[in-house]
Amino acid sequence: MSGPGGIATLADHKRKRIDELIARTSDAGGVSLIRDAGRRLLRNPTAIVGAVLILLFLIIAIFAPLVAPHDPVQRFPELTKDLTVDNIPGATAGHPLGSDPLGRDFASRMIYGARQTLFVGVLATLIGLLLGVLLGAIAGAVGGWVDVLVMRLTDVMLALPSLLLAITLVALASRSTQWTVIIAVAVVNVPIFARLLRGSMLAQRESDHVLAARALGVRQRHIVLRHMLPNSLTAVIVQATLTFAVAILDAAALSFLGLGDPDINRAEWGLMLGVDGVRYFEVRPELAYFPALAIILVALGFTLLGESIREALDPKNRR
Amino acid sequence: MPLLDVRDLSVVFQRKGTAPVKAVDGVSFTVEPGQTVGLVGESGCGKSVTSLAIMGLLPRRGNKVTGEVMFEETDLLTLRPQELRDRRGRDIGMIFQDPLSSLNPVIPLGVQVAEVLERHQGRTRQAALKQARELLDAVGIPDPARRLKEFPHQLSGGMRQRALIAIALACKPRLLIADEPTTALDVTIQAQILTLLKELVDDSGTALVMITHDLGVVAGLCDTVNVLYAGKVVERAGRHQLFREPRHPYTDGLLQSVPRLDVDRGGRLHQIRGSVSDNIPWPEGCAFAPRCDRVIDDCIGDTVPLEPTRAGALRCTNPVPREVPV
C-alpha cells in the first residue's frame, strides 16, 4: 500500500505536470498581435508564394548591374547589323532574349526595368498612402465641416475613373517627367486611403477604449495619435499592398498611352510593353510577352501577400 | 460637506426632427468622502447617462445637460474642456462595463497603466512603468512584470477588470465611478472583483459611485442606495433600510424579483409586469403607474414629488406600508 510518501510523490508529479501545462499555455499567450500575425503568415503558402515573388524581383532590381549581362542603353553592333523594322534579332550568343528595336540587349533592359517599375510602384503607393492617411486622419479625428470638406473632395476624385484622373493630372503638368507619373498615380489612390482610414477612425472614436481613455483625462492629440490611429491602420496597410499592384499597372497604362516617362533610354516595363511591344508585336511578340509577364508576376506577388496579410491580421483567425 | 453633490441633473437627447428624450430628469444625490453610493435601476433608467454626464463624457452634440455637478467646490458642468480633462483620471476615476473593449487592443498593458501616470503626475515612462508594476501587484495580478508587456487579449476577463481598476485608481482619485463593473464577468469572478474594489476603496478612502442593476452588488457594497426609474430617483435609503423595508413599489418589485433559496422554490419568480417602455411621462403622474400593483387614482395627474423620509427620500403616493413590529 502506498504510504504518505507515495501520495506526496504523486502530488509532486501532478504539480509538475500542471506547472508544465501552465508554462506551455502562457508561452502561447505571450505572443503579440503582430508577431502572431507574422507566424500565421509564415504558415500560409499563399503568403510565401507572394513574398518569394516580391523578394525575387527586389533582388533583381537591387542587384541589376550584377545580374544583367550588358549595359541596358548600349547598342550592340552584332544586334544592329541586321536590324530593320521587319527584323528584330532574337536570341543569340551573349544576348539570351535578343535585341530590342534599337539594338539594345533586351534581357538587360528587362532586368533594369524591374528597378524602374518597382521604384515607381512603391513610391506612388507610399506617397498615396501618406497623403491619404493624413487626410483621412484629419477628417476622422476633427469631424464637422472639415470631415465634410475632405469627403466631398474624395467623392469628386472617385467620381472620375482612376486612369482618366491620372491622365488629366499628367496633362496638367507642363512637362511629363518620371515624377509626374509617380505623383499622378499616387494622387489617384489618395481618396481610397483617405476614405478607408476615416471610416475606421470614426469607428474608433465611438469605441469603448477611446471613451475609457477620455475618462482618464488623456489629451485629445494623444487619443488621436496613440489610441485611434494605430487601431485604424490595419485596413490601410493591407490596402497599400494591394495598391502596389494597381500602381504598377496604372504607371504602365500611362506609359502605354505615351504619357509616361519621356526618357526613351530608361527601361520600364510599362513603357517597353506599351511602345515597343505593341508596335513590333507582329515582328517579335516577345517584346510584349516578357514585360507583360513581369508586370503580372509582380502584381500577383503583391496581391497574394496583401490578401494573406489581411487574413493574418483578422482577429477572428486568431487561435 | 459632500464630496460630490449632484443637483437637479437633467440630460435631454435631442435630434433634429425627433421629439426630445429626457434620459435623466432632475436627479439629485450626494456622495460623502469615502462613502459608497449605489445607483440602481433597470436598463434604460438613466444610470449610465448620469455617470457620463458627471464625467462630461457625453457627445458634444445632440444633448443638453442642465443642473449642477458640484465636486468639492467646483461645478464640473461649467468647467472648460481642458480643466475637466485635467481632473478626469486624477480626481475622478471611472471603470466601465466591458473590460476587454475598454482597453486598447494594440498597446501593451503596462503602457496603458503608465499613460495615466505620465499624464497626471508627470512621470517619465520608466518611472511610470515601475509604478504600474506595483499597481498591478496591488490589484492581485500575478507576475505583474510579465503582464506589463502583454496585450489585453492575452489576459483573462477578471485580470482585465483588475487592470482597469488599477488604471482607474492609479492617481489615487477621491471619487471612483464604477459603471456595472461586474456585468461582463463570470459569477465567480464577480465576487472577487467586488471584494477587491471594496478593499481598495476602504483602504484609500476613495468614495465610490456604484452603478448597477444587480441588487446583490448593492447589498454587499453600498452605504446609500438611489433607485432610479425612468430618469428620476424614486427612492433613496440606507442599504439596510432599503432591503428590510422597501417603500416604493418599484423597489419592492425589484427585491422580490431576486431569486431566493429560502422560499417556495416550486413557484414562479416574481416579475414586474410590462417594461420600461410602458411609461407615462412624469409630468402626467408617476411614470411607474402603468406597471404598478399599488396604483391608485392619485398616481395619475401631477408629478409625484420626491419627499424626504426618515430613512432618505421617496417618490410615491401609495407606498408599501411599513411593517408594524408585533
In chain A, where are the structural domains located?
50-317
pLDDT the model gives residue A2? 43
Task: Measure Cα distances from B249 to B179, B209, B256 in Å.
Answer: 25, 24, 10
Residue bearing the bigger pLDDT, B86 or A173: B86
Compute how many other C-beta atoms are within 10 angstroms of the C-beta atom of residue A308. 23
Chain B nearest-CA distance from A142, in A, is: 12
pLDDT at A161 over 60: yes
CATH number of A50-317: 1.10.3720.10
What are A129-158's pLDDT values in tens digits? Answer: 999 999 999 999 888 899 999 999 999 999
Burial of B263 (C-beta count, 10 Å sphere; 0-12/13-18/19+): exposed
pLDDT the model gives residue A61? 92
pLDDT the model gives residue B221? 87
What are B147-184's pLDDT values in tens digits? Answer: 998 888 888 888 999 999 999 999 999 999 999 888 88
Domains of chain B, residue spans: 4-222, 242-314
CATH number of B4-222: 3.40.50.300
User: Looking at the complex, does the CB of residue A28 fall below 8 Å from at least one CB of chain B?
Assistant: no
Instruction: Please report the ipTM that was assigned to this predicted complex.
Output: 0.82
pLDDT at A3 over 50: no
pLDDT at B118 over 50: yes
Q: Tell me the C-alpha distance between B102 and B246, whole Å.
A: 35
Q: Once rounded to an integer, what is the mean pLDDT over residues B71-99?
A: 91
pLDDT at A274 over 90: no
Look-up: residue for cell 510584349? A288
What are A77-126's pLDDT values in tens digits? Answer: 888 777 777 788 877 878 888 888 888 899 999 999 998 888 988 899 99
Task: Measure Cα distances from B100 to A225, A280, B95, B153 in Å.
Answer: 21, 63, 12, 7
Residue bearing the bigger pLDDT, A258 or A140: A140
User: Looking at the complex, does the CB of residue B55 fall below 8 Å from at least one CB of chain A?
Assistant: yes
Q: Rounded to 5 degrees, what angle do the CA atoms A228, A229, A234 make? A: 110
B121 contacts B135 by C-beta, under 8 angstroms:
no
Chain A nearest-CA distance from B119, in A, is: 7
Q: Tell me the C-alpha distance between A36 and B299, whole Å.
A: 62
CB contact under 8 A, B106 and A213: no
Look-up: residue for cell 423595508? B245
Q: Which residues of B touch A212 (CB under 8 A)?
A: 94, 96, 102-103, 164
Burial of A258 (C-beta count, 10 Å sphere; 0-12/13-18/19+): exposed
B147 contacts B141 by C-beta, under 8 angstroms:
yes
For residue B89, give the nearest of A216, A222, A231 by CB distance.
A216
CB contact under 8 A, A216 and B93: yes
CB contact under 8 A, B85 and A212: no
Phi, psi of A150, deg, nearest 5: -60, -45
CB contact under 8 A, A212 and B164: yes
What are A14-64's pLDDT values in tens digits? Answer: 667 666 665 554 444 444 566 777 888 888 899 999 999 999 999 999 998
pLDDT the model gives residue B325? 61
Q: Tell me the C-alpha distance between B182 and A209, whole Å.
A: 17
Tell me how many residue pairs between chain A and chain B have CB atoms under 8 A apart. 84
